[in-house]
């Protein structure tokens, strides 16, 4: 029988430990986890991007529910362990579950420190530690009132920046004279304060909180000098304490944290501890890099290995506030035995300081330009004697030894064991080695295989440079990088920032994201217009001048400047009346070509632009609406005859196709979307080469997606089988909405799906009912603004100027 | 060259910002463009590549991207920008009190 392993706490440290353990000793333990938080393991570091809106909670989940199931782990969510009985070897939760263990791991993390002033327990005073705190802040932010953050450290500033992004007025109170004084020297602290204030956040230093005031809920803060600062929300971010109380009660040796040896063993040989609650060699930690090292050692210990002990190392600090670059490492206090080298560039807001002792770096502070952080870290870790490069050291790696001023050369010069990703402790050699060994070609793959840049993401640039170095010309970061010549940002970053900073017009995007051209180009403008339509369906005013002519005039331009018109024929079904109306229009406007399209409908080609409104007017009277044959939007839903007629039909494929088309027409998408519904696996509607396809079977509806049959031919992937038409519709709508929200402009579903992974799509829209429903609801909401027939709008006079010349200069022979 | 004649074609407000209209003349179409900063340009409405109507393209800065195959044409010089080679005729424009006038040679207009 497997040994019983019980874990208290389900944070980042034990999560990582389990990954190592499952790899090293699969099946050795029957694992049970108790977590006081009612959720799975997520990336706590990324709470700030969730707060600011740059990420959704779902995006920061490390292990989804499926992971626990797949690995046979029992997870008790929302169970706080209240007692450890070391005699009986059991733990008991506050909800009365008692579980026996052979080995126990305590990973209770930290608790936020609350300054004991009057009023600290008023409603409206919260700490910043977990998702519940973030949700509480988001709720408070809806009121758009005033927030006060107590504490000008990493957490406090991230909270302040997030709340500001969410529209609150924010004041930061900091008791010391400069911000982040534990990580920054006063000069950098000053620059940081300027940068924070430049975002409209008020900063009060030397501000000592005396009391929190309010009648029944928080109304303000009273400072030691009697000043009252108004506040409807108070976030206390003044520090954390290792959460060692439970271990102490159980009689384990504790000091600041739970005392362990280098193999993470506590004073009881059956009990280990990892994470912020652990104290190793007199140190406790508050950043993940050392915790992940603990996790590695503890997993090895549990697996019966002997791969070394935990060794202390300094971890660099970075602030995850978009647009503020700051890096600090090691010890930078002044001292008689120390020397320092400083570089300042006031106009660029750059400050760099390296602290030396015996010609070796012991500390570094960088503000405004942090690219050399990894290099300084490496020199420090290796205790390199820098006397040879002393004069140029501060200018960074590019200036050493006459190396060319090439950013790639700087990365090339890093040693293989130089750390690139601090969060996950991934060094250069591991990244380049894995790229070669596994044949990786994209950043996402490198993240998946090495974890480099998969946590806080600040080292993404370095990882990309390594990819360029390793893959040479075959890796073109250009393919993932700038949207166009007007910006250095890629599509994904632009989409993220549009949401995070609530940018709601094209000029706002261009201003805030520092576009290099005054009004963009024909590549970025249509993309931005789509992103804004998708993200703010109710608020954004569509910018027609940023649409390609086809989407402006709602017809397809032809090589001779005439247009083609394709009305909707729902599901490919038509009638005598419709056909007659088409015939009449063709005669009346002398339309030269009438053709049946590959999408089961009729195309009228060669119509003069000036005639378009009149053509639509006639078609409209017969009930036709635009077929969007020109749109990055829903095109056709092909169907076969299904149960209505076919002797093999299993479901009403025609009816369902029409239902889908009527539900989804009018929606704008990153690239065109084509669908089909076939009544049985003979698949006469060719559903398995569509963006989304349905194959009806006896037991229900098999939903396919990510097919293509144009520039590329690709059979679809199966998303899953559902029983009813209603369920099928919900899944289809959800997958399209997920695509709408995530894809890059002009990226068809199959390319997007390849990037994010079929499994991920399945996980989000099939396995996770709540998420599916949310996608569905967002689609339905946006349809309220999208399902307007553009043809009838134009028949009633919209955009008249598009369809006729401003004037005709008529001379006697003017005949045009 | 014979003297230009100034033809009134309409007002600035008739053209959307970052947009264009065309003027039909017996000699062919002329595209009249209005930039984001309200400058007005006029060029032949006939792409040097394969004759696309430039007035139906996307206007950005002082340039337009042809709707047919994405050549980018400078509104100031009429020349194709980037790697493409070719040019269209530019036409003089005067804006007075919001009205746009094109400077065309009556001789050409009058001719067959
Ligand atoms: C009319 C039609 C051909 C026909 O006579 O049957 C057609 C005509 C055009 N197709 Fe198509 N495609 C037509 C069905 C298809 C199909 C078949 C289908 O939908 O079942 C495909 C392959 C399926 C697919 O998309 O995966 C198809 C793959 C393409 C592609 C390649 C797209 C890709 O990402 O691989 C393009 C190019 C593009 O979109 O950039 C394209 C582009 C075009 C354009 C819009 C070219 C252009 O940009 O001007 C043509 C416009 C003609 C017009 O004015 O109507 N057309 N095109 C069909 C209209 C269907 C409809 O009712 O809306
Ligand atoms: C907003 C924010 C930003 C951060 N940014 C960074 C950063 O940029 N870089 C960085 O390196 N670090 C950062 N950190 C710190 C990092 O998140 C922590 O160091 C790390 O999450 C600690 O992991 P852990 O496993 O020790 O504890 P935690 O992740 O805190 O997990 C402990 C878990 O144990 C549960 N628990 C506690 N007691 C019990 C009990 N009795 N029974 C059952 N369950 C219990 C808790 O509910 C909690 O879920 C940040 C932290 C926060 C809050
Ligand atoms: S295949 Fe499509 S894009 Fe190509 S010529 Fe035919 S209609 Fe045009
Ligand atoms: S006709 Fe203008 S780019 Fe081809």
With beta carbons less than 8 A apart as the criterion, state whether A261 and A169 touch. no
Chain-chain contact of B21 with A521 (C-beta, under 8 angstroms): no
Find, among A235, A217, A232, the residue nearest to A173 by Cα.
Answer: A235
Q: Contacts of residue B60 in chain A, CB cutoff 8 Å? A: 517, 519-522, 525
Structure tokens at A349: 């807001």
Per-residue pLDDT reduced to its tens digit, A219-260: 999 999 899 999 999 999 999 999 999 999 999 999 999 999
Which atom, in ligand 1's list, is nearest to the CA of A691?
A: 26
Relative orientation angle of helices A460-471 and A443-450, to the nearest 10 degrees = 110
With beta carbons less than 8 A apart as the criterion, state whether A97 and A229 touch. no
Residues 6+ apart with CB under 8 A from A102: A3, A4, A5, A89, A270
Q: In the structure, what pLDDT confidence band is assigned to residue A406 with cuts at 50, 70 and 90?
A: low
Q: Measured from the CB, is residue A748 less than 6 Å from ligand 1? A: yes
Is A34 a residue whose pLDDT tops 50?
Answer: yes
Q: Give dist(CA A270, CA A255) in Å, integer.
A: 19
Is A1 a residue whose pLDDT tops 50?
Answer: yes
pLDDT of residue A508: 82
pLDDT of residue A213: 94
Choose the most confident range, by mean pLDDT, from A796-805, B7-16, B103-112. B7-16
Q: What are the extents of the domains in chain B?
A: 5-110
Chain-chain contact of B10 with A546 (C-beta, under 8 angstroms): no
Q: Return the residue whose CA atom lies nearest to atom 15 of ligand 2.
A: A287
pLDDT of residue A812: 44
Per-residue pLDDT reduced to its tens digit, A480-504: 568 888 888 889 889 988 987 788 8
Is A2 a residue whose pLDDT tops 60?
Answer: yes
Is A21 a residue whose pLDDT tops 70?
Answer: yes
Q: In the structure, what pLDDT confidence band is assigned to residue A801 with cuts at 50, 70 and 90?
A: confident
pLDDT of residue A802: 84
Ranking A229-238, A437-446, B88-97 by mean pLDDT, the lowest is: A437-446
Mean pLDDT, residues B13-24: 93
Find, among A63, A65, A43, A64, the residue nearest to A54 by Cα.
Answer: A43
* pLDDT above 70: percentage of residues in chain A: 96
**More reliable by pLDDT, A527 or A401:** A527
Q: Give dist(CA A54, CA A131) in Å, integer.
A: 15
pLDDT of residue A457: 65
Closest CB to A807 among B18, B23, B37: B23
Q: Give dist(CA A237, CA A805) in Å, integer.
A: 64
Mean pLDDT, residues A252-274: 96
SS3 content of chain B, % helix, strand, coil (to 5): 10, 45, 45
pLDDT of residue A407: 62
Structure tokens at A688: 């398995």
Q: Which residue of A has its CA nearest to B35?
A: A519
pLDDT of residue B112: 37
**More reliable by pLDDT, A281 or A343:** A281
Is A6 a residue whose pLDDT tops 90?
Answer: yes
Which of A599, A630, A640, A687 has most ligand 1 atoms within 8 Å of CB, for mutation?
Answer: A599
Q: Give dist(CA A375, CA A367) in Å, integer.
A: 15
pLDDT of residue A815: 37
Closest CB to B24 among A548, A557, A816: A816
Which atom, in ligand 2's list, is nearest to the CA of A287?
A: 11
pLDDT of residue A347: 64
Per-residue pLDDT reduced to its tens digit, A727-744: 999 999 999 999 999 999
Q: How many CB atoms lie within 10 A of CB A553?
A: 23
For residue A548, the CA-to-ligand 4 centroid distance in Å is 14
Distance from CA of A495 to the nearest CA of B (A): 21
Ranking A524-533, A677-686, A710-719 by mean pLDDT, the lowest is: A710-719
Which residues are paired to A634 by β-bridges?
A673
Is the backbone of residue B101 left (phi > 0), alpha (psi -120 to 50) or beta? Answer: beta
Residues 6+ apart with CB under 8 A from A29: A2, A3, A4, A5, A21, A103, A302
Is A343 a residue whose pLDDT tops 90?
Answer: no
The pTM of this model reads: 0.56
The chain-wide mean pLDDT, for chain A, equals 90
The chain-wide mean pLDDT, for chain B, equals 88
* pLDDT above 90: percentage of residues in chain A: 67
pLDDT of residue A462: 81
pLDDT of residue A809: 81
pLDDT of residue A479: 54
Chain-chain contact of B18 with A557 (C-beta, under 8 angstroms): no
Protein fold of B5-110: Rieske Iron-sulfur Protein (2.102.10)
Residues 6+ apart with CB under 8 A from A645: none
With beta carbons less than 8 A apart as the criterion, state whether A482 and A489 touch. yes
Chain-chain contact of B67 with A525 (C-beta, under 8 angstroms): no
pLDDT of residue B107: 54
Per-residue pLDDT reduced to its tens digit, A640-679: 999 989 999 999 999 999 999 999 999 999 999 999 999 9
Supply the ipTM of this predicted assembly.
Answer: 0.66
Find, among A693, A656, A652, the residue nearest to A673 by Cα.
Answer: A693
pLDDT of residue A339: 81
Q: Contacts of residue A563 in chain B, CB cutoff 8 Å? A: none
Mean pLDDT, residues A403-429: 75
**In chain A, count of helices (H) and strands (E)?**
27, 41
Q: Give dist(CA A146, CA A219) in Å, integer.
A: 9
Q: Give dist(CA A31, CA A69) in Å, integer.
A: 11
Ranking A38-47, A142-151, A804-813 by mean pLDDT, the lowest is: A804-813
Distance from CA of A565 to the nearest CA of B (A): 17
Chain-chain contact of A545 with B18 (C-beta, under 8 angstroms): yes
pLDDT of residue A325: 87
């Amino acid at each position: 029988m497997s040994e019983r392993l019980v874990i208290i706490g389900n944070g980042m440290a034990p999560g990582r430990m389990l990954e190592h353990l499952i790899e090293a000793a699969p099946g050795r333990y029957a694992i049970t986890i108790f977590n006081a938080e009612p959720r799975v393991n997520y990336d706590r570091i990324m709470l700030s991007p969730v707060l600011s809106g740059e990420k959704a909670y779902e995006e920061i989940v490390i292990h989804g529910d499926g992971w626990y199931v797949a690995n046979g782990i029992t997870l008790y969510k929302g169970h706080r362990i209240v007692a450890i009985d070391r005699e009986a070897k059991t733990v008991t939760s506050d909800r009365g579950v008692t579980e026996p263990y052979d080995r126990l791991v305590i990973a209770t993390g930290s608790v936020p420190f609350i300054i004991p002033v009057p009023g600290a327990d008023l409603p409206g005073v919260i700490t910043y530690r977990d998702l519940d705190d973030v949700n509480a802040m988001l709720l408070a932010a809806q009121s758009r009132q005033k927030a006060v953050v107590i504490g000008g450290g990493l957490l406090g500033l991230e909270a302040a920046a997030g709340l500001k992004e969410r529209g609150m007025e924010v004041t930061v109170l900091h008791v010391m004279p400069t911000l982040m004084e534990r990580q920054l020297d006063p000069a950098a602290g000053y620059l940081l304060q300027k940068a924070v204030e430049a975002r409209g956040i008020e900063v009060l230093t030397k501000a000592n909180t005396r009391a929190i005031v309010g009648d029944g809920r928080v109304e303000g803060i009273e400072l030691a000098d009697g000043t009252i600062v108004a506040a409807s929300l108070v976030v206390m971010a003044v520090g954390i304490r290792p959460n060692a109380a439970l271990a102490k009660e159980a009689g384990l040796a504790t000091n600041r944290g739970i005392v362990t040896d280098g193999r993470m063993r506590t004073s009881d040989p059956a009990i280990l501890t990892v994470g912020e609650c652990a104290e190793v060699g007199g140190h406790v930690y508050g950043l993940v890099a050392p915790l992940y090292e603990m996790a590695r050692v503890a997993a090895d210990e549990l697996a019966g290995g002997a791969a070394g002990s935990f060794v202390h190392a300094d971890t660099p600090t970075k602030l995850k506030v978009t647009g503020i670059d700051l890096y600090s490492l090691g010890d930078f206090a002044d001292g008689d035995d120390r020397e320092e080298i400083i570089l300042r560039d006031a106009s660029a807001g750059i400050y760099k300081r390296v602290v030396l002792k015996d010609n070796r770096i012991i500390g570094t502070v960088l503000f405004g330009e942090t690219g050399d952080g990894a290099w300084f870290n490496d020199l420090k870790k290796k205790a390199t004697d820098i006397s040879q490069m002393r004069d140029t050291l501060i200018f960074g790696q590019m200036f050493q030894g006459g190396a060319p001023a090439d950013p790639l050369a700087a990365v090339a010069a890093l040693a293989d064991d130089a750390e690139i990703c601090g969060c996950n402790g991934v060094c250069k050699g591991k990244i380049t080695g894995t790229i070669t060994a596994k044949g990786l070609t994209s950043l996402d793959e490198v993240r998946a295989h090495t974890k480099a840049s998969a946590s806080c993401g600040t080292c993404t640039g370095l990882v990309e440079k390594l990819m360029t170095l390793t893959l040479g010309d075959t890796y073109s970061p250009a393919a993932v990088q700038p949207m166009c010549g007007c910006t250095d940002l890629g599509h994904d970053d632009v989409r993220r920032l549009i949401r995070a900073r609530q940018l709601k017009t094209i000029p706002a995007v261009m201003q805030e994201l520092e576009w290099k051209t005054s009004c963009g180009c024909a590549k970025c403008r249509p993309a931005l217009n789509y992103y804004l339509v998708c993200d703010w369906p109710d608020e954004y005013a569509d910018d027609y001048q940023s649409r390609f002519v086809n989407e402006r005039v709602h017809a397809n331009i032809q090589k001779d400047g005439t247009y083609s018109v394709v009305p909707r024929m729902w599901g490919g079904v038509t009638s005598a009346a419709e056909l007659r109306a088409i015939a009449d229009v063709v005669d009346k406007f002398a339309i030269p070509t009438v053709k049946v399209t590959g999408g089961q409908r009729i195309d009228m080609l060669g119509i003069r632009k000036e005639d378009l409104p009149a053509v639509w007017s006639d078609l409209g009277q017969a009930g036709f609406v635009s077929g969007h044959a020109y749109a990055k939007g829903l095109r056709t839903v092909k169907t076969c005859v299904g149960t209505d007629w076919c002797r093999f039909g299993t479901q009403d494929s025609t009816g369902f196709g029409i239902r889908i088309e009527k539900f989804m027409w009018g929606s704008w998408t990153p690239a065109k979307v084509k669908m089909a519904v076939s009544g049985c696996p003979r698949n006469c509607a060719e559903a398995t080469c569509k963006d989304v396809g349905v194959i009806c079977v006896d037991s229900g509806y098999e939903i396919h997606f990510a097919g293509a049959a144009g520039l590329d031919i690709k059979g679809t992937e199966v998303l899953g089988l559902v029983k009813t038409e209603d369920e099928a519709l919900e899944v289809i709508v959800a997958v399209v909405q997920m695509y709408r929200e995530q894809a890059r402009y002009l990226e068809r579903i199959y390319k997007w799906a390849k990037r994010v992974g079929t499994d991920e799509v399945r996980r989000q829209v099939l396995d996770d009912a709540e998420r599916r429903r949310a996608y569905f609801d967002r689609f339905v909401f946006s349809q309220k603004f999208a399902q307007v027939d553009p043809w009838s709008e134009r028949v009633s006079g919209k955009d008249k100027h598009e369809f006729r010349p401003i004037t005709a200069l008529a001379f006697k022979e003017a005949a045009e | 060259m014979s003297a230009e004649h100034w033809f009134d074609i309409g007002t600035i407000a008739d053209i959307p910002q970052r947009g264009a209209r065309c003027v039909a003349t017996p000699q062919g179409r002329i595209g009249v463009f209005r930039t984001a900063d309200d400058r007005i340009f006029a060029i032949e409405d006939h792409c040097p590549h394969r004759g696309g109507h430039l007035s139906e393209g996307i206007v950005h800065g002082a340039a337009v991207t042809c709707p047919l195959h994405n050549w980018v044409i400078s509104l100031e010089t009429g020349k194709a920008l980037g790697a493409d080679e070719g040019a269209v005729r530019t036409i003089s424009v005067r804006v007075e009190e919001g009205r746009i006038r094109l400077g065309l040679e009556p001789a050409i207009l009058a001719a067959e």
